[in-house]
Every structure is written in C-alpha cells, then in structure tokens.
Amino acid sequence: MKKTLLLIVALLTLSITADAKWWIFGKSNAEIGLKYLQVNKIAADETGPKIKVFREMLAADGLIRINGRGSTGRNAVGSVRISLDDKATWSDVKFSENGTFEYAFKPEPGKTYIMLVEITDTAGKTNKVDETRKEIALSDENIQAKVRETLDAMFDAYNTESLEKFMVRVGDNFAGDKAILERAVKRDFDALGNISLRYTINNVSAGAQGRVFVSVTYNRMVFVNKTGASSTDTGSTEFVFDSKEGALSLFSMKQPLMFGLSDAENVATGTVIGGGETALVLDDSGDIGGALATRSYNSADAHFGYNFETQQFEDCDGTAANCTGQVFFMPGVPYIGVDDNPETTARIGELPGRSASSATLADIEAAATLQQVFGAFAGKTFGIKYGADRYALEITSLSGSGTYSITVRTKAF
Amino acid sequence: MKISATFAAVIGLALAAPTLAQDAAQPAPASTSEFHASNEFSMVSNEIKGAGKSASSLTKGLNYLEVLNIYGNGTKGAWTYNYTAGGKATDDLRNDSKKLSLTNIQGRATNNIHTVTAGDVFESFSQYSLATSLKGASYRFNKEGSRLPEVTGVFGWAYPRWDSAWKDPVTRSINRQATGLRLKQAINPDLWAAGSYVGTKDTDRLTATDALYDARNYTFDFGYNPMPGLTTAGEYSMSDYDEATGGTSAKGNAARVELVGDADPSRVSVEYENVEPDFFSALGSASQDRRKIKTRWRYKYTKQVTFTSGLLWYRNNLDGAKTAGTTSNWKPEIAATIKKPFAARPYSFANLSYKFDRKYGGGSSGADHYMNANYRDRFGELDSDTNLGYTLYKTKTAVRDAKEVNFNTSLNSRHQVKSVVFKPSVNLGTWYSKDELADETDKLYEYSLGLGFEAPDANLTSDLRLGSNMLRKSAAGTDDSDKFFASLNAYWRPRLMAKLNDSTLFLRAGFNDYAFTTTSRNFREKSVTVGINTSF
C-alpha cells in the first residue's frame, strides 16, 4: 500500500515539475497555446470535435460560456480572440494578466457555431488556431428525447448482442469501471440468447456537471444457453449518464442491473431504494445465479430460523417444531442445521471459499450432505438442499451473546 | 401526511419558481418566454399463443402508453427561468406498475448569481458524495469573477419516482431524506478545490428487515491542470453511518486520484482508487471493499494506426476480515486499430484486440482470454462488417472451463431509385461453445435479412427484418430451441401535420415463434404498436 502511494506521489511530482517536451504528449510550456479550454465547464480535450449542448444543461441565463487560459512561454499574453463563424469574424476577448479569459454567447437552437480561439503573445506569435476548432450546437431536442435515443441504442445493442455498439455508449469514467463492464457484458452475451429487454422512463433529471439521472421500469426475457431455460423479470432501476459531444454516455448503474449481469457486484454502484437485489444475475459458470437477498435480524433469544421462501427470519424453537423455514440457528453452540424442519431429507454443508453470489449448484450438490454444522460463524457460506430446492446462505455478520444480531446474504437457485 | 405536505410545498415551489423569478425581478423591459410540449401516444396489441406462453414477457391484449412532457423558459428583468414537467399513463403493468404517474417536474430561476431549483434536483457534487437525483430543492450562489466560493445547498428525498413521495402503496419505498452542502473555491486559474457534506436519514421501513441508515459523508475533491495537456483530479470521502436494523455502526474512507495526459499522439491515464469495506455512500457511486489501479495508453502511431493498451488491477478484503480470503483481479488488454490496412482499399478498417482476465484467491482461480478481430470494408456497393472472436474460459476450481468461438458478418448496401432509397442487408452469425467440464457442446446459428426503405419526399422511413436463431445442445435433458422472428418498423411524418413542428405516425409490428425440443414450451408472440409522436 505504501509503495503504491509513493509511486503515485512520484508520478504526480514528476508530471508537475516536468517542463521538457514529453515525447509522449508532444507539448511543452514553451509553445504558444492553451493551458486549458472549457466549453460550459467541460474540458475541450474531453469533448471531441463536436459539442452539442442541451437546453437543460445551459445555465439559467441560456448562455454558453467558453473559458480558458493562454500559455505563451516567456512572453505575456498579448491578445485573445474567438471566432464563432469559422474565422469569418473575430471577437476580442478580455483576459487577465495570467492569461485567463472567458467569453459567453447566447446560442440559437439548431444553429452550428464553428469556434476557434487565437492566442497571441506580446511578440506577435500565435497559437495553432486550427487545433482549437470545435463545432458547437444547441440541440433543439429536449433531454427526454435524447435519453430515449440513448437507451434505445443501448437496449437494442444488448438485445442484438453487439458488444461494440453497446460499449460505444459507456463513458471512460464509468463508475464501476469500463473494463469490468465490458468483460461482464461479453460474458452475458456468451451466457444468454434471445434477449428481449424493454423499458419505459419513470424519471429524467438533468443537472450539474452535464449529468443526467434516469429511472426506468424494465421488462426482460432471456434464454440461458447453458440450460436452455428462459427467465422473465420486471422492476425498476436507475442510470446516470454524462453528456459529451451531444451524446449521453453511461456513468453508473444501480442494482437491479440491466447490463453486466455476470459481474453484478463490481458493475453496480448502489442499489435502487426499494429495488432490492432480486433481479436476474449470472454466476461464474454462466448460469442464472438466482436472486440475491440481504436480510438482517435481532433475535429475541438464542434460537431462530430463516425461511428462504419468504426471505424472513423467524423467532422459533427447534424442539417446539414451530419453525416454518429451512434452516435453524443456535449461534451460541455455534450451530446451523436443517434437521428441525418438516423436510427430513434436507441437507446442509459448508461451501469453503464461496460467497452467496459465487456459490454454484454444483457446489451445493457436493457439499450439502449433513443435517447440521457446528460452525455458524460470520464469513462462512453454506449450501442447503431442501426437497428439490437449492439455496446458498452467507453469514455476513453475527454478533451477540444470548441474543444475536445477524445479517445474511442468500441466493435461491 | 407530513411528508405529503412537504412534497406539496416542493411541487408548489417548482411550479412557482418561474413566477417567483418574475415577482423578484427589477423593473424591467419586456419579458420573453417560450413554451414547448411533446407527446407520444401508442396502442399495443399483443397476442401470445402456445402451451409455453407463460414464458413470454409481453402482456396479452390491447394496452396503451401515453407520455407527455412540457417545458418552457423565459426572462423577466434580471431573472431567467425554465421549467419542465412530464407524465405517463398506461394500463400495462409491465410498462409501469402505476396507471398514471408524474415522471418529472422541475422549476429553476436565476439572476446569474443566485440560482434556485425545485422539484427534480440533480446537484452532482462528486462521485462519492452525491451522484443521484433528489425530489426537493437546491440553492446555488456563484458570482463569476469574484473570489467568493461557489456555494450549493440541497435538501430533498432520494425517491426513485414521484409517486413514492406520496406513499403510493404500489411504489412506496423507504424514506431517505438528504441534506447537502458544497463549497467550491478556485484557488488559482489552474486549481480548484471543494468540500462537501451530505447527510442521509432513512425512515419508514417497509418490512422488518429493511436496513435503515443514518449516514454522513464528508468529502474533499479537487481538479488541477499543472501543465498543458495534463489534468489531475481526485477525491477523498469519509463516511460515518449507523444502521438501525442490524444495529451496526461504522466509519470508512474512500479515495481516488486520476492523472490524464492528453495531446497528440498520446492519451495516457492513470487511476488509483481505494474504497474501504466500511465506506458507505447512500447517494454516491462507489464499489465497496476495492483497491484499484488502472492505466490506459492510447497512442496514435501514424494517421492510420492507433494502439491502445490498458491494465486494470483490483482486489477486495482490504481489512482482511473475509474468512474466504482475498480475491485479486488482473485485466490487461491491448488493441490495434488500423485504417486502410490495404492501401488499395480506401474503406478498409481493421481492429484487433486481446483481453485477459486473471482472478484468484477467495476460493476462485480463473484465467480467461478474449481475442477479437474485426474487419470492415466496401466491395462495390456492398459494405461489409465481419467479426471473429475466440474466448477461453479456464478455472482451477472447475467452475467454467470452456472454449467459445463467435463469428458474425453483415453485408449492407444502399440503392437509390429516383428519390426512393432501398437498404437491403444480410446478417449471418454462429456461436460455438465447448464446455470442457461437462464435455458438452452448444451451437447457435443465426441469420437475418433486412430491407430499409426511405422516401424523403413522402417523409416515410421503414425497416423490415426477418430471421432465425437456432440453438443446438448436446447435453441430455436440455432443450434445443428455434426462434423465427419478423419485424416491421415504419415512421411517417404527414404534411397535414406541418403546423405541429415534428409529428410522426409510427407502426411497429413483430412476430416471434419459439420452438423447443420439449414442445410444451413452444409459444408464439404477435405484437402490433401504432402511435403518434407530436411536439411543438
């Protein structure tokens, strides 16, 4: 950890102090140019050659603001000019001693402005003006239409299993990491067939930093290649998009997930309130992993059970035969068992090295051979056979004495 | 009831924001305003037949979907304002669990120093602190050209939809109330820094096991341009939460820093992130229990050739508390994009990529290889796009050992007859998977034919597509399946509706026939949607 931090600090220090012409970047402070250039607070380096701005993302005064800082080496900045009509006319722009400047104009919807910025130093040398060229346009679409266009393209790419077309819509700064999502979607496509995914929009909200929040209701059917089985589910989820070059790129997704089901834990950042973790997930083997659920409980005494069907804990006593669920806990022993329920053929076993999300049916079939396990500790995962049903249960936390606080993650297969 | 009253006030404020702007204006010249609306109404008829029809995700019968949005803006004296509102109505529960719902409402007014927003408020502070929308209100102070910091305050509820706000029984969720404050200061033209606080408090548990958080996030973030072409940005956040249901309390930290060097011929980025297991952000975006380092380098070797390479490493179990142990991941990748790989072929384009996944620890050990080659070209009037991929899944824990090959090719062309354009297309694909563990194979074959049609003079476009997917499985007890599909999408902008700036009549028709080895799973879907989209 310390070595990593030292390495980062060293890199940062080198980059800050470097004044030589890096072969890698091809620029130096000696050249006349722009230290930075922003259009509506978004770095021009990040926008590409075309910038499409939506009404909803303008400041309330409706102006597009261009600000930057001239870089002129040893000489001072002599003048700053901006053209919005491809050099046909130029406007002088006020600048400060350190070369910073700001220019604002009110765009007309549908019109394209060809912007160029000219920096001249006091010796009369100018920057490479053509390198600053940007096409700026105010979209006459509203943000809802743009969101629908983007979601249509993403859902269509996912339905037709086109990885390239899908990833084009994902931003480089995707919160769950773009590389993780790309591999997860590739695994989704290998695992699923005949994907039919539809949505309607519940809410769209455009806000600061050019970001757009979107809530949708989804409806999904997939076929699992490994088993040939089909699965349908419906629910609501949320996305956040970045706006760039007039296009929206995916910034984050929450559980329940629409895309990247093969690595849901790493792809999703957050859970929709009330959405739970009940949506489709794919396990490492490419099969439907079942629904994940997280449940917590404070026990009234030293005995309690858990029912996978209702996903509820229950206050029960094994010897009184009042447990309706599949497993029974006595953490004080520490004991977890399946021998106090009506299904006498039920079996349980520990799944070493597995979590609820990584446990597979094969793991459970192999491990669940006992009626009880003496070792119900936090961090352990158990597989349960109950009639024809199969479950995985991970104890994520367990504390107390006499009465207990427990949290489990479960998956039903 | 109290919440409903509060939300009535929020909506009232959202509706009144433009009016407030007008009232607050100085004696002013003539005011200006704009008003726009868009509406889409569609009727869908779905027919599902066959013994296996319960597997369909369509709703049988005739249903409707209505989506309305209005938005407008204006000025009054020194103040400008804008507003937006929208609603949705449907009788198909798969479209929405509510028949009638308010989708969005927002009002905003500013005099360029003070900005007030009410309704849907999306004040994106930073990734770890606040990156989600609230139903509430915000205020921003930002005096350009002064040394004063930019100040943003926000208060609201993190409901995913408006009907959750008034406790509709169908869409009710727990109540997550949020308060946020952010101060951002430009220290010099190249450096800014910001500090923010976000507090959330959950109430109104729906079930006895719902987690209820009382959480606080204190966050510092910055941006710095040390030299031309180089930018750095970073963030540190500390969380402190109490969770009532499980009776847990914890504090955690998260930090990330990113350096991006971007100027021809290279773009280089380096990222580091460390999110502790106990870090919690109710309204931000973070993957808990992750330490990550990522580098990426895009290098334009020539005008035709660009190389891209990347390395991602991350691991979990940062506090060493997982009895299962630590899982580490390595994900290197390299790709080359070549424009005109054959000098005599001006439209040729090739992309070659190799990606590797190594995952080990925590009971897992896998090494997956992904190789892909893509070639695009134009032969006469035919545009071609061909993709060949090979994937090798390999695990030491016998979870997934498989070799997979996928191949797709598409041919498209464009023919113009007077003012009418035809766009025929053919797609062919196959996917082969050999499961080494089960010693079974899966084969998927697919084809489709398409015909696009454009008549600009008649404002008509359409797309007809039909094809089939066939899955063949060697494993006993599993079903082969065939899907035949046909679809027609047509869009017409009639001149009669020229008064309405952008009105489109549309028709979408689809037919899917699913057949399985187990014939009791067979079913067919017919779907026809007609609708009109109008805006002015």
pLDDT digits (tens, 9 = 90+) for B71-91: 888 888 888 888 889 999 999
pLDDT of A91 higher than 80: yes
**Residue indicated by tokens 């007077």:** B418
Q: Per the CB < 8 Å rule, is B287 touching A269?
A: yes
Secondary structure class of B97 (helix, strand, coil): coil
Predicted pLDDT at B44:
96
Q: Per the CB < 8 Å rule, is A36 touching B225?
A: yes
Predicted pLDDT at B523:
93
Predicted pLDDT at B235:
96
Mean pLDDT of A19-29: 45
Q: What residues in A contact B95, CB-CB < 8 Å?
A: 200, 217, 219
The whole-angstrom separation of Cα A220 and Cα A173 is 27
Predicted pLDDT at B161:
85
Residue B443 lies in a domain: yes
pLDDT, tens digit (0-9, with 9 covering 90-100), for B491-522: 998 876 555 566 889 999 999 999 999 888 89
Please state, for a pLDDT cut of 70, what percent of chain A lies above it. 79
Secondary structure class of B394 (helix, strand, coil): coil
Q: Per the CB < 8 Å rule, is A27 touching B248?
A: no
CA–CA–CA angle B84, A210, B234 (5° rounding): 145
The whole-angstrom separation of Cα B138 and Cα B121 is 7
Q: What residues in B contact A266, CB-CB < 8 Å?
A: 287, 290
Secondary structure class of A96 (helix, strand, coil): coil
Measured between alpha carbons, how far is residue A238 from residues A254, A273, A275, B121, B514 in Å?
6, 10, 10, 15, 31
Q: What is the mean pLDDT of chain A?
A: 80
Residue B32 lies in a domain: yes
The residue among B174, B200, B323, B385 with the most chain A CBs within 10 A of its CB, best to mutate, is: B323
Q: Is the dihedral of CA B21, B22, B26, B29 positive or negative?
A: positive
Predicted pLDDT at B184:
94
Stronger pLDDT, A288 or B517, i.e. the higher one: B517
The whole-angstrom separation of Cα B108 and Cα A55 is 13
pLDDT band at A10 (very low <50, low <70, confident <90, very high): low
Please state, for a pLDDT cut of 90, what percent of chain A lies above it. 19
The alpha carbon of residue A386 is apart from the nearest alpha carbon of chain B, in Å, by: 22
Question: CB of B366 within 8 Å of any CB in chain A?
Answer: yes
pLDDT band at A362 (very low <50, low <70, confident <90, very high): low
Of A29, A59, A234, the CB nearest to B227: A29
Mean pLDDT of A242-255: 83
Predicted pLDDT at B323:
73
Question: CB of B312 within 8 Å of any CB in chain A?
Answer: yes
Stronger pLDDT, B425 or A306, i.e. the higher one: B425
Stronger pLDDT, A28 or A319, i.e. the higher one: A319
pLDDT band at B405 (very low <50, low <70, confident <90, very high): very high
Q: What residues in B contact A396, CB-CB < 8 Å?
A: none
Residue of B nearest to A198 (CA): B95
pLDDT of B5 higher than 60: no
Are the C-beta atoms of A323 and A306 separated by less than 8 Å? no
Boundary-marking domain end, from B121, B144, B162: B121
Of A234, A286, A312, the CB nearest to B400: A286
> For the ranges A48-62, A73-87, B350-364, which has the lowest average pLDDT?
A48-62
Please state, for a pLDDT cut of 70, what percent of chain B lies above it. 92
pLDDT of A25 higher than 70: no
pLDDT band at A20 (very low <50, low <70, confident <90, very high): very low
Residue B49 lies in a domain: yes
Q: Which of A29-43, B213-227, B488-502 has the highest mean pLDDT?
A: B213-227
pLDDT of B321 higher than 90: no
CB proximity list for A204: less than 8 A, separation 6 or greater: A143, A144, A147, A212, A213, A214, A215, B86, B103, B104, B120
Stronger pLDDT, A232 or A88, i.e. the higher one: A88
Measured between alpha carbons, how far is residue A199 from residues A15, A143, A146 in Å?
46, 17, 15
**Beta-carbon pairs below 8 A across chains A and B:** 337
Residue B149 phi, psi (nearest 5): -70, 155
CA–CA–CA angle B206, B210, B214 (5° rounding): 105
Are the C-beta atoms of B445 and B438 separated by less than 8 Å? no
Q: What residues in A contact B86, CB-CB < 8 Å?
A: 144, 204
Predicted pLDDT at A290:
59
What residues are paired with B154 via a beta bridge? Answer: B138, B180
Question: CB of B49 within 8 Å of any CB in chain A?
Answer: no
pLDDT, tens digit (0-9, with 9 covering 90-100), for A368-380: 888 888 888 887 8
Predicted pLDDT at A26:
47
Provide long-range contacts, Cβ within 8 A and 24+ apart, for B43-46. Answer: B43/B529, B43/B530, B43/B531, B44/B92, B44/B527, B44/B528, B44/B529, B45/B527, B45/B528, B45/B529, B46/B525, B46/B526, B46/B527
Stronger pLDDT, B255 or A98, i.e. the higher one: B255
Boundary-marking domain end, from B106, B121, B136: B121
pLDDT band at B23 (very low <50, low <70, confident <90, very high): very low
Q: Per the CB < 8 Å rule, is A273 touching B174?
A: yes
The alpha carbon of residue B464 is apart from the nearest alpha carbon of chain A, in Å, by: 15
Q: What residues in B contact A27, CB-CB < 8 Å?
A: 227-229, 263
The residue among B44, B132, B514 with the most chain A CBs within 10 A of its CB, best to mutate, is: B132
Which tokens hold the place of A25?
A: 């970047």
Q: Per the CB < 8 Å rule, is A213 touching B266?
A: no
Mean pLDDT of B221-246: 89
The whole-angstrom separation of Cα B292 and Cα B276 is 11
Predicted pLDDT at B28:
44
The alpha carbon of residue B513 is apart from the nearest alpha carbon of chain A, in Å, by: 11
Mean pLDDT of B200-209: 82
Boundary-marking domain end, from B121, B155, B173: B121
Secondary structure class of B98 (helix, strand, coil): coil
pLDDT, tens digit (0-9, with 9 covering 90-100), for B59-72: 899 999 999 989 88
Domain residues for B513?
Answer: 401-536
Please state, for a pLDDT cut of 90, what percent of chain B lies above it. 58
Q: What residues in A contact B399, CB-CB < 8 Å?
A: 284-285, 360
Distance of CA A237 to the CA centre of its chain: 12
The residue among B34, B105, B399, B430 with the most chain A CBs within 10 A of its CB, best to mutate, is: B399
Predicted pLDDT at A23:
42
Q: What residues in A contact B287, CB-CB < 8 Å?
A: 175-177, 265-266, 269
The whole-angstrom separation of Cα A198 and Cα A221 is 9
Predicted pLDDT at B57:
85
Q: Per the CB < 8 Å rule, is A194 touching B270?
A: no
Residue of A nearest to B119 (CA): A205
Residue B31 lies in a domain: yes
Q: What residues in B contact A25, CB-CB < 8 Å?
A: 229-230, 261-263, 266, 268
ipTM metric? 0.86
Q: What residues in A contact B60, CB-CB < 8 Å?
A: none
Of B90, B404, B480, the CB nearest to A190: B404
Predicted pLDDT at A7:
53
Mean pLDDT of B456-463: 90
Residue of A nearest to B163 (CA): A202
Mean pLDDT of B276-298: 93
Q: Per the CB < 8 Å rule, is B172 touching A273?
A: no
Are the C-beta atoms of B230 and B241 separated by less than 8 Å? no
pLDDT of B410 higher than 60: yes
The alpha carbon of residue B228 is apart from the nearest alpha carbon of chain A, in Å, by: 5
pLDDT of A92 higher than 60: yes
Total domains in the fold of chain B: 2
Predicted pLDDT at B183:
96
Other residues' Cβ atoms within 10 Å of the Cβ of residue A41:
12
Question: CB of B189 within 8 Å of any CB in chain A?
Answer: yes
Q: Is the pTM of this model over 0.80?
A: no
Q: Per the CB < 8 Å rule, is A274 touching B172?
A: yes
Predicted pLDDT at B417:
92
Which tokens hold the place of B425?
A: 């297309």
Q: What residues in A contact B67, CB-CB < 8 Å?
A: 200-201
Are the C-beta atoms of B502 and B535 separated by less than 8 Å? yes
pLDDT band at B209 (very low <50, low <70, confident <90, very high): low
The whole-angstrom separation of Cα A272 and Cα A267 is 14
Predicted pLDDT at A382:
92
Residue B60 lies in a domain: yes
Secondary structure class of A144 (helix, strand, coil): helix
Residue B10 lies in a domain: yes
Stronger pLDDT, B269 or B189, i.e. the higher one: B269
Predicted pLDDT at A22:
44
The alpha carbon of residue B418 is apart from the nearest alpha carbon of chain A, in Å, by: 29
